[in-house]
Homo-oligomer: A and B are copies of this chain.
């Protein structure tokens, strides 16, 4: 009585179809701008939300019923893997992402964690072989177990630092084994609940050293993928050190990692930090640190991470526009770090959620490609900053304050404001989305 094997792979049926389990916009083999939509978008399903999360929230427990619950044995872990690959195929997902703790149960000690992860990733490797589904990225869960309650690399207890390091090594090895294209670090508990018990400086230094160890190990094992960190401002902790893109960029630069580590940016985390998703993407791109994205929205009226499947095409289009401007994905992709609402109990809900999300992304991407090709935003931008291309303007940057002051006086410079044309640019965007 498997859940997902009765769903044959979703097919493209065109925008006018009313079939709720067909793609209306995402035709994986469509070639636009020299690349298939599959290769533009590089969709990944998140193992944790789709298979490990049981439907609980702070005020209630498990709502889902799944054949692989309770998740307490390797036998159940294998059933979960079988189902996961059925789902990947049902929604034509080319990639998946995982934490160690999603794949098999925590064993309580590192040796057994290592052995069982090895076992289950062998099993998963066979599924990958069979189905062609690939690993976009792997990561270590350094936040669920009680031992991580006060942080992982930033823990006051060196023993936790040690176990965290060993766990990351284990997960990097597993990612490498599975041909993962990136390795991600999300510091869910790297932060604090109260400054009263926190040595900020020391914890940041430990995190900086930890990330350097990760990079050193990457080279040692010859992992050719990207190392990514994932900004988030808070939740579960009151304050997280990887607050947003700007904070992460500053942190990486401080610890000499600006050429080694890129960012995995999530829409929901952008919103929690008081930014738009496109801001975070554009800033990472401006710093040369755009790695991959988690395409899951937060509810604008909720103050916590709701991790919902994307459903607003205009927003998604702006995100992809900035990704396209930065050259598109290389090792990165579009991971749905999204979970069903806990009232969405049925297998069909999970299938439909992914199909709908892929359609939203495909529509957004197509709009972004068209807008990018049209070039209207870019030419408006060039016009707006055009005067900076003159020698006289460049001289301003090269000069000194007193030089400039003399020139302002000599030339009696009185700037004439020009319209920023925001509404006209917004109208322009609406022609495409």
Contact = CB atoms under 8 A, between A and B. Distances in A.
A236 B59 contact: yes
A384 B192 CA distance: 13
Contacts of A196: 377, 380, 422, 425-426, 429
Interface in A324-366: 340-346, 348-349, 352-353, 355-356, 359-360
A202 interface: yes
A345 B272 contact: no
Interface in A247-261: 247, 249-251, 253-254
Interface stretch (A69-77, A87-95, A163-171): A163-171
Interface in A380-398: 380-381, 384-385, 387-388, 390, 392-393, 396-397
Copy total for this chain: 4
Interface string A399-413: 111101101110011
Place the interface of chain A in its size category. Answer: 35 or more
Interface stretch (A78-86, A123-131, A174-182, A304-312): A304-312
A216 B250 contact: no
Interface in A360-378: 360, 377
Contact of A426 (B114, B194, B413): B194
A35 interface: no
A188 B311 CA distance: 26
B419 A344 contact: yes
Contact of A431 (B24, B62, B346): B24
A60 B146 contact: yes
Given A193-B341, A198-B381, A343-B422, 4 more contacts: A60-B189, A165-B396, A313-B430, A359-B430
The 5 A-B pairs at the shortest CB distance, nearest first, are namely A303-B303, A250-B250, A343-B420, A356-B427, A158-B393
